[in-house]
């Protein structure tokens, strides 16, 4: 294998992930619970999606709370204090409110008073977008320590009367600490992509400048997430495979060299289709979808944390992360752990 780091990182410098952490709310909502709310069945949800249960945040628990809890765990693993953090990036489609941004609220909750703070919105690809943005600040030496978070309270935009969508999503957060380490392991390369022509496949139409909140917009359900599931499915498989192949090829790697493939956790059938096309074995694919459903920007971040803490990923292992979401957006990255 050629040195996969050589082509893409500045010589001698690496954007290392020195800590990861995740947090999911305590309340578990099972498929049996959903059977009582909408006309569905555990059998349908399990066979069509692979999801068995998801976590639902409490009424007084917001995206910034989930994010702050995940951040504290990542900081602990990295041995980083709140004062050391230079920048906080939160990827979310469910901010606590339109403004101020959720990253500022996280800054206050973790006491990172020195940090600049902003949100990015790339739906389920948000964590990979945020990693790539954070990497740029590290590699340019603008900042020493960047906290990147994917966090969602999707239950706040879920239409609990729509069985097409309400069985799919869950709440949670995942975080990573990025730091510059000389001649060390870290992010080798990342790609981001988008296709605004297909913006209508997955959206929440209400609440922005195009459709501010009115009595009518609420009555019409415009403040709920909506999705064309079938079209989204097709685009997800295609975009994730192509993004994954691009980062592998940039690093002169074939999939056999990857210890762990961490795909966005939206649907087991999507994960398996992507795995098949990439020729990844079931042992390489990391799946925790059955426990959490689709947590959008938090999905890959939670999975990365669980893969690391469970011992599935060891120092020196190569990891492929890949995601797809509304926008449309997609992204992939190769990480040397
Ligand atoms: O995170 C961003 C990316 N998101 C995704 O990638 C999600 C992509 N899409 C999907 O995962 C799948 O398209 C879904 C899981 C959303 C739907 O699966 P599907 O195999 O595409 O089912 P469908 O939408 O074609 O629905 C098949 C049938 C329909 O009934 P009819 O019209 O054939 O009689 C639906 O009404 O299943 C019905 N159905 C349900 N039945 C029981 C849809 N949702 C449910 C449900 N329970 N929850």
Domain ranges of the chain: 6-179, 187-336
Q: What is the pLDDT of residue 281?
A: 97
Is residue 152 within 8 A of residue 296, CB to CB? The reply is yes
110 pocket-lining for ligand 1 (C-beta < 6 Å)? no
163 pocket-lining for ligand 1 (C-beta < 6 Å)? yes
312 pocket-lining for ligand 1 (C-beta < 6 Å)? no
Lowest mean pLDDT among 39-48, 177-186, 222-231, 244-253: 177-186
Average pLDDT (69-81) is 98
**6-179 and 187-336: identical CATH topology:** yes
Q: What is the pLDDT of residue 121?
A: 98
Average pLDDT (302-327) is 97
Per-residue pLDDT band for 13 (boundaries 50, 70, 90) equals confident
Beta strands in the chain (DSSP E): 13-23, 27-30, 53-56, 87-91, 116-120, 145-153, 171-182, 187-194, 202-203, 226-227, 260-263, 318-325, 329-336
Q: Which residues of 177-206 are buried (b: 16+ CB within 10 A; e: fewer)?
A: bbbbeeeebbbbbbbbbbeeebeebbbbbb
Compute the distance from residue 297 Cα to the ligand 1 centre, in Å: 21
Compute the distance from residue 108 Cα to the ligand 1 centre, in Å: 40
Name the residue with tokens 């870290």. Answer: 186
Rounded alpha-carbon distances, angstroms, from residue 19 to 5, 188, 227? 20, 17, 34
229 pocket-lining for ligand 1 (C-beta < 6 Å)? yes
150 pocket-lining for ligand 1 (C-beta < 6 Å)? no
Per-residue pLDDT band for 183 (boundaries 50, 70, 90) equals confident
User: Exactly one of 260, 264, 267, 288 is catalytic; which is it?
Assistant: 264
**pTM for this entry:** 0.95
Q: What percent of the chain has pLDDT over 90?
A: 94
pLDDT at 9 over 80: no
Tokens of 292: 């959490």
Q: What is the pLDDT of residue 303?
A: 98
Q: What's the distance, CA 160 to chain centroid?
A: 23
* Residue with CA nearest ligand 1 atom 3: 325
* Residue with CA nearest ligand 1 atom 35: 164
**Closest atom, ligand 1, to C-alpha of 34:** 48
47 pocket-lining for ligand 1 (C-beta < 6 Å)? no
* pLDDT tens digit sequence for 89-138: 999 999 999 999 999 999 999 999 999 999 999 999 999 999 999 999 99
Q: What is the pLDDT of residue 11?
A: 55
Mean pLDDT of the chain: 95
Beta strands in 116-250 (DSSP E): 116-120, 145-153, 171-182, 187-194, 202-203, 226-227
Fold of 187-336: Peroxisomal Thiolase; Chain A, domain 1 (3.40.47)
Q: What is the pLDDT of residue 182?
A: 79
Active site residue 264: yes
Q: What is the pLDDT of residue 12?
A: 67
DSSP label at residue 187 = E
User: Exactly one of 124, 166, 251, 260 is catalytic; which is it?
Assistant: 124
120 DSSP β-pair partners: 91
Is residue 77 within 8 A of residue 47, CB to CB? The reply is no
* pLDDT tens digit sequence for 22-62: 999 999 999 999 999 999 999 999 999 999 999 999 999 99
Average pLDDT (227-240) is 96
Compute the distance from residue 49 Cα to the ligand 1 centre, in Å: 8
Active site residue 294: yes
Q: Which is more confidently placed, 266 or 1?
A: 266
According to CATH, the superfamily of the domain at 6-179 is Thiolase/Chalcone synthase (3.40.47.10)
260-263 β-sheet, strand order = 187-194, 329-336, 318-325, 260-263
Per-residue pLDDT band for 223 (boundaries 50, 70, 90) equals very high
Is residue 137 within 8 A of residue 12, CB to CB? The reply is no
* pLDDT tens digit sequence for 141-163: 999 999 999 999 999 999 999 99
Active site residue 60: no
Q: What is the pLDDT of residue 10?
A: 52
329 pocket-lining for ligand 1 (C-beta < 6 Å)? no
DSSP label at residue 62 = -
Average pLDDT (263-288) is 97
């Amino acid at each position: 294998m050629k040195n996969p780091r050589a082509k893409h990182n500045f010589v001698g410098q690496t954007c290392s992930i020195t800590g990861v952490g995740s947090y999911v709310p305590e309340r578990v909502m099972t498929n049996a619970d959903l059977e009582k709310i909408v006309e569905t069945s555990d059998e349908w949800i399990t066979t069509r999606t692979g999801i068995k249960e998801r976590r639902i945040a409490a009424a007084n628990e917001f995206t910034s709370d989930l994010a702050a809890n995940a951040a504290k765990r990542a900081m602990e693993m990295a041995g980083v204090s709140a004062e050391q953090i230079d920048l906080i990036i939160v990827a979310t489609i469910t901010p606590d409110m339109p403004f101020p941004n959720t990253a500022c609220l996280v800054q206050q909750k973790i006491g990172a008073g020195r940090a600049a703070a902003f949100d990015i919105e790339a739906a389920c690809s948000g964590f990979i977008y945020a990693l790539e943005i954070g990497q740029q600040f590290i590699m340019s030496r603008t900042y020493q320590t960047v906290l990147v978070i994917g966090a969602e309270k999707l239950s706040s935009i879920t239409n609990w009367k729509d069985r097409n969508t309400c069985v799919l999503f869950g709440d949670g957060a995942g975080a990573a600490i990025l730091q510059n380490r000389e001649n060390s392991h870290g992010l080798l390369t990342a790609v981001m992509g988008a296709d605004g022509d297909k913006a209508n496949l997955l959206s929440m139409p209400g609440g922005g400048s195009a459709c501010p909140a009115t009595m009518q917009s609420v009555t019409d359900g415009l403040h709920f997430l909506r999705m064309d599931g079938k079209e989204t499915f097709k685009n997800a498989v295609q975009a994730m495979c192509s993004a994954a192949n691009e980062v592998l090829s940039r690093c002169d790697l074939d999939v056999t060299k990857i210890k762990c493939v961490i795909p966005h956790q939206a649907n087991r059938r999507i994960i398996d289709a992507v795995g098949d096309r990439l020729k990844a074995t079931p042992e390489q694919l990391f799946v925790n979808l059955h426990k959490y459903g689709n947590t959008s920007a938090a999905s890959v971040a939670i999975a990365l944390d669980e893969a690391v803490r469970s011992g599935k990923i060891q120092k020196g292992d190569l990891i492929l992360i890949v995601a797809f979401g509304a926008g449309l957006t997609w992204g992939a990255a190769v990480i040397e752990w």
